[in-house]
A and B are shown apart, each in its own frame.
Chain A
Amino acid sequence: MDEATCHIEPPAYFTRLATRLEPTADIVKKTLKSRDRVVHLLYLKSVVDMMQLQEIVVKPFYEMSAEQNFAEYIQSLPYETKMPTGDEEVLIEITKGNVFVMIDKQITLLELKIVAANAVQEAIMEPTIHGPQLGLSESIETNINVIRQRYHKPSLIIEPMQLEDASNRDIALIYDEERVKPQLLKIIRKRILTLEVELVQGSSDLQYYMNNKKYSLFPTSLLTERPDRILHNMAVGKVIILVDGSPHAIIAPTTFFDFMLSMEDAYYSFWVVSLIRFLRYAGLFTCIMLPSIYVGVTSYTPEVLRTELALTVAASRIGVPYPSFIEVFFMLIFIELLTEASMRLPNSISATATTVGGLILGTAAVEAALTSNIMVIVVSLVAISTFVIPISEMNYAVRVCRFLLLLYTTAFGLAGMVLGMLGLLLYLVNKDSFSEPYLRMFWKNRQEELKADDS
């Protein structure tokens, strides 16, 4: 800065904003001056793209002759964002990466932000063989771009909202205006605006807060990273919620059956999909009920088994010191530990952990007569079938369920298991997701059903 610029006093408003931001190190107050023209810039250099700033603002300033021209030029730029009212809001915009430009009395916000993590990531949580291999990125703009790119309709609405928490994060509701239910939109907007939380880290905890209940087991909205799942759900009238900085989108409302759907189901022929779905539901029931069935059958009603199997099971339990339910409980805890451990470990080590834990410990436990080998089969079957459930939130919920069911069966035998399942069913029937019944079926196919709801 030369001598001449130093004595130009920035306007009072500009100074006020600057002092509010002052203590931070990355603030830049700049006054551009050429002949009698003066432009004040205020931005945070850590979030602004310097190259763009140079190309779009600084260079034209010195190339243009009249001040009036430059003001019009700035206003015509496509980067302009809406000027909010109030100092606080303007400051928030600046922290998001907007450049505050002041030319005489004209103030403009230019969005010249730079986002480090805007690369689209590979879909890790829900891998499929066919379908898109890439998921979302951590930048909301990129994510909207990903969705827009796949859904060309003027009725696709992107509704920006801002969280009222410490982070002031940008979120966006995305929906197809023609298909979404107005009532649903109202509920979701209200749910988001009335959130009372300190800090939202991303879509995962936003989803939790939107659930609206402290103690709930089953998820009422779905987190996904797959663009095809987003479109699939949007096309049937659901709302997608994107949070800036989070590579997952929230889909709401969701029914139980949405969690049992893999996007791959759309890519195969009917009979193949039928088989896969059958396997998935069989896996669901296996992983919920098998530990309970083991306890119920071996300790209450062994006549359910065939004679040969009854003798084999009895033989395998010879020398096992604890009653069957303690055995099952320990083995389930053990397998949960194993799952949890292999999830937290880096990929290269987790294979070793599984081998050591599953194979070696399992065999050793049987050899040492701490558990029966039938039990090891049961537990591994349970562990495997848990992973058949495509969405991990449901996966966790189901894992909790089987402990509850185990408790019931331990106390009341197979009758208790049936009772427990009935209780679970009652709970699910009673549950709703954003005022949609949780166990509602045929969301996609029953158009009449949808229409009936609206009237």
Chain B
Amino acid sequence: MKFLSMSKWFMVVLCMSGVLLQYGCAFKDIDKRLFVSAIGIDPAENVENGYKVTLKVALPFGAIKDSERPSFAYLSREGQSIGEAIRMLETHVDKVLELGHMKTIIVHEKLLRDDMQSFMDYFIRRGDIQLIAYVAGARPSAETILKVEPNTEAPASVALINFFGATANDSPYVVTTYLFQLRRDILADGINPVLPLIETNAGGDELIVNNSVVVDGREDPAVLSTIETKYFNSLLKDSTGFTYLVKEGSLKLLLNFSQSKMTYQFVPSKGSGAPRAIDMHIVMKGTIGEANKDLSIAKLDDYNSLASKDVKQRVMHFLTKMQEENLDPFGFGLRYRATRLHTEDIFTTWQKAYPDIEFKVTVDVKLQGTGSIE
């Protein structure tokens, strides 16, 4: 092996360090980047069939510990497509827009239709956007929601992110939908994606997430009420923290459920084999959180059956309402397709059967105590 002479080595090292100083496009220091924390999409006002894109940019600043409020910058632009609008927005700022930390996509309520796949495509294809970003609907508009800066928001954090995914807020009223999940649900037959709906109060300083939207082909998406959202969440996602008020005569009980589990099976009809009914079994476990009378542990079974009857009624109501609207947020159809032998017309069989399907619900409430020590 031949070694270079000293002076040649020196030249090589000098050249290499010279090259390092010419750092190019991939090398961008963190303080030369702007972190987009959320994107809002509204229908365009001036461009036909276009979109208005609003970016919420989190600004870093000096001493985070000393500052009381987070600071954000908002950028808006209308364009024929989302990608185009974002490209144009890049020319509005002095730094590079970094979408790697963009974790919430907020879509105007009006845009939550079946064709939302066409504009959501941009987010799927762009490599630096994470597929675990949350997607949510917005009322009255995405821009309004983005511009809300809640009082509880801490510096260097984004309140919109904390709502979802049970990292901070795990209320059963909050539905979480990820970007990958939304795409999958839109493209799959037999399930309707459900998105949380973000609203704000009159003062514009609070974010309120307790309704949800079932996305379907129709112009006006079906909005689940607060109670329906709670049922949907705890039945499908086993959300905890479910509270339930039972009234029986003068007795009022507030039950706290810590566990809920739903299992169901299809009951085929005798002749065609098409599904005739869905046999659903729900088990809920919890304690009594509040009561207006003295309770006895001996009467726990009574409270159980009382609660079971009541919950059953509500669940039935919710299921039949969805059935009447011909919506399937639970993905019964998907499950049906997945668990039957595949034939060409399996989905049409299901579509025909679903409007008339019968729900047989049994609810088993298991209270584990009266919530107090006798």
Interface residues of A (CB under 8 A from B): 298-303, 307-308, 310-315, 317-318, 320, 323-325, 407, 410-411, 413
Q: Are A410 and B64 in contact (CB under 8 A)?
A: no
Q: Are A325 and B60 in contact (CB under 8 A)?
A: no
5 smallest CB-CB distances across A and B, nearest first, come from: A303-B100, A315-B60, A314-B60, A317-B31, A298-B30
Q: Are B29 and A317 in contact (CB under 8 A)?
A: yes
Known: A299-B27, A303-B98, A323-B29. A310 touches B20 (CB 8 A): no
Q: Are B30 and A299 in contact (CB under 8 A)?
A: yes
What 1/0 mask marks residues of chain B from 35 to 54 whose CB sits below 8 Å from any chain A CB? 10100000000000000000
B245 at the interface (CB under 8 A from A): no
A302 vs B99: C-alpha distance in the bound complex, in angstroms? 10
Shortest distance in angstroms between A65's beta carbon and chain B's nearest beta carbon?
72
Residues of chain A with a CB closer than 8 A to B156's CB? 307-308, 311-312, 315
Q: Are B26 and A303 in contact (CB under 8 A)?
A: no
A308 vs B60: C-alpha distance in the bound complex, in angstroms? 10
What 1/0 mask marks residues of chain B from 1 to 44 whose CB sits below 8 Å from any chain A CB? 00000000000000010011001001111110101010000000
A307 to B, closest residue via Cβ: B101
If A303-B101, A323-B27, A410-B27 are given as contacts, then 6 extra A-B residue pairs at C-beta distance below 8 Å, sorted by A number, are A302-B33, A303-B100, A308-B157, A311-B60, A320-B31, A407-B16
In this complex, which of B27, B33, B35, B103 has the most chain A Cβ atoms within 10 angstroms of its Cβ? B27
Known: A307-B103, A323-B23. A315 touches B61 (CB 8 A): yes
B135 at the interface (CB under 8 A from A): no
What 1/0 mask marks residues of chain B from 253 to 293 whose CB sits below 8 Å from any chain A CB? 00000000000000000000000000000000000000000
A301 vs B33: C-alpha distance in the bound complex, in angstroms? 11
In this complex, which of A300, A307, A312, A411 has the most chain B Cβ atoms within 10 angstroms of its Cβ? A307
B64's partner among A303, A315, A320 (CB-CB below 8 A) is A315
Within 8 A of A (CB), among B37-88: 37, 58, 60-64
B99 to A, closest residue via Cβ: A303
A299's partner among B28, B62, B161 (CB-CB below 8 A) is B28
Residues of chain B with a CB closer than 8 A to A407's CB? 16, 20
Residues of chain B with a CB closer than 8 A to A311's CB? 35, 58, 60, 64, 156
Pick 23 A–B contacts, CB within 8 A, sort by A: A299-B27, A299-B28, A300-B26, A300-B28, A301-B100, A302-B100, A302-B101, A307-B37, A307-B58, A308-B156, A311-B156, A312-B156, A315-B61, A315-B64, A315-B156, A317-B29, A318-B61, A318-B62, A320-B31, A323-B27, A324-B29, A410-B23, A410-B27
Chain B interface residue count, Cβ-Cβ cutoff 8 angstroms: 29
Residues of chain A with a CB closer than 8 A to B130's CB? 303
Q: Are B157 and A307 in contact (CB under 8 A)?
A: yes
A303 vs B37: C-alpha distance in the bound complex, in angstroms? 12
Within 8 A of A (CB), among B73-132: 98, 100-101, 103, 128, 130
B158 at the interface (CB under 8 A from A): yes
A407 vs B19: C-alpha distance in the bound complex, in angstroms? 11
A320 vs B60: C-alpha distance in the bound complex, in angstroms? 14
Residues of chain B with a CB closer than 8 A to A303's CB? 98, 100-101, 128, 130
A325 vs B20: C-alpha distance in the bound complex, in angstroms? 9
Q: Are A318 and B60 in contact (CB under 8 A)?
A: yes
Shortest distance in angstroms between B103's beta carbon and chain A's nearest beta carbon?
7
Q: Are B29 and A307 in contact (CB under 8 A)?
A: no
